[in-house]
Structure 1
């Protein structure tokens, strides 16, 4: 079995460095063009709600009430994304989205081991995203009071209009594309060298033909 010569591999990479560089630059440029001119920017914002205990306010907080509320927070999240809430939200803001389109823009997450719900909204317009998040919180509170008979719900953080899009991220995309380009370039170089059986150096003669070199004729212009 032929042993792998690390030095020989490094020499191959150095010899074909320009070829690998072409792959890196090409992939980075394509990724940058796509990120800056093709992919539409999308903005993201969020609002958070805290849901208190079930029932009327009691001076003493019971541990069982807290555990029950934490279990019900998942139910609250489903209500926040329900068609009932979505249709009222669309009507209030005069949006042209369907229920399904709006659902794709909204993500409801439960902050682990807490009674806090985080509502994240994504949209191509940062102002619209913030309006949807705040209105969703208002409609949700209204409906959760009617459905679950819970009164102690408060908004912790109101949505802020994002100044910068959260995607695309051209720098990160171009960096990833450059890495992929370099990997593909290296693979292409080794594949080319593996299938190239032409004699280029004296080492190739000794290695492939097993013949000793007795002399070299220099190239004279």
Structure 2
């Protein structure tokens, strides 16, 4: 057991020394990869802007009476049902026709995201597009069409807009910092793998310690290299 632990310690030390010996190549490859990732993100990936609006789900039409906890819980559960309706062709096809969009229903449905806000009865509708005004217009039209369709299909409850469609001034994707970091990490992992694999298939002896550790032979003498 002690012998195996010693050999493992020696192997880890050799790996550390190997990486240290190739430190310049590792650092250079990491920096180049990060720069490539930065350039691709900035010049080859189209920025996406996100527009969103929030709507509140109620289980009944009449809001004059006191709202109970059971009704709030039911409304939270209805968010999942309403999100399916919002992304259905019953809602999105009128949106496409009203705005005369070039997107098909399948394309638009994949980009529209409906989610509950903090597990409440409020749902958030969001949509991303390279054109911020286009994204805002689509979300606005969804909030106009969806309430009537939901009430007709569910035949109970209501959906009301809390906040109108808004779009951020900065793109939500791609993330320059994230992509640059990922590219740098991938480059570093690649060069480390290349160095280790190259060393793994290198069966030559470089020092007298290699002979002792790998062959178990005692070195009697070393011929020095003289210029």
Q: TM-score, normalised by structure 1?
A: 0.86
What's 1:77 paired with? 83
Alignment CA distance shift 1:185-1:154 (3 Å): same
Q: Determine if contact 1:51/1:154 at 8 Å carries over to the other structure.
A: yes
Query: 1:41 & 1:211 partners in 2: Cα distance?
Result: 65
Q: How many residue pairs end up in the alignment?
A: 220
Query: 2:30 & 2:226 partners in 1: Cα distance?
Result: 35
Following superposition, the deviation at residue 150 of structure 1 comes to 5.1
Following superposition, the deviation at residue 90 of structure 1 comes to 1.2
Following superposition, the deviation at residue 118 of structure 1 comes to 0.9
1:219 aligns with 2:203: no
Following superposition, the deviation at residue 149 of structure 1 comes to 4.4
Following superposition, the deviation at residue 205 of structure 1 comes to 4.1
Q: CA-to-partner distance for each residue in 1:177-205, whole Å, 9 max, x for gaps? A: 21222222222212222221223333334
1:86 aligns with 2:107: no
Q: TM-score, normalised by structure 2?
A: 0.84
What's 2:29 paired with? 23
Matches of residues 145-164 of structure 1 in structure 2 within 5 Å? 145-149=151-155, 152-164=158-170
SS of alignment partner, residue 219 of structure 1: coil
Moved more, 85-94 or 205-214: 205-214
Q: CA-to-partner distance for each residue in 1:86-138, whole Å, 9 max, x for gaps? A: 11111222211111111011011123542111111111211111111111111
Following superposition, the deviation at residue 215 of structure 1 comes to 4.6
What's 2:72 paired with? 66
Q: Determine if contact 1:43/1:167 at 8 Å carries over to the other structure.
A: yes
SS of alignment partner, residue 159 of structure 1: strand
Query: 2:41 & 2:70 partners in 1: Cα distance?
Result: 50
1:192 to 181, 193, 198: 198
Gaps of 5+ in 2: none
Gaps of 5+ in 1: none
Q: CA-to-partner distance for each residue in 1:5-49, whole Å, 9 max, x for gaps? A: 233322111111123234323432332232222222212221110
Matches of residues 1-221 of structure 1 in structure 2 within 5 Å? 2-5=7-10, 6-149=12-155, 152-208=158-214, 210-220=217-227
